[in-house]
Amino acid sequence: MSNPDAFGDRLALDPGLTALALLYTNGELEADEAGAFETRLGVDQAAREALCQAVQLTLSLGGLAPPTPHFSYRERVREQLLPNSAAGDTPALAGLESKDD
């Protein structure tokens, strides 16, 4: 069961942290403030979650779809996971290919 008073839950709901993440995402922080926030991102999970939410919010407000990997990234991962797939040696996986490839 989740504890609402847990350290991470309190920080994730902190409106000041959310506002800071939005300012960072939009490039509205001074260089020293941005650097301090980046340092915080390295040690604070709540800050990272706030940044993820800020990016998603910014993209949704701009009418843009959330970012997805470039098709070439998917190809490289597929080659690493299924080295024989380039030669067509994976008949069992033939029906599992993504439609957007």
> How much is the pLDDT for 1?
39
> Phi/psi of residue 30, each to 5°?
-65, 160
23-76: per-residue pLDDT in tens?
Answer: 999 899 999 999 999 999 999 999 999 999 998 888 887 776 666 777 788 888
73-97: per-residue pLDDT in tens?
Answer: 888 888 888 877 555 555 555 555 5
> How much is the pLDDT for 59?
80
Domain residue spans of the chain: 7-61, 68-101
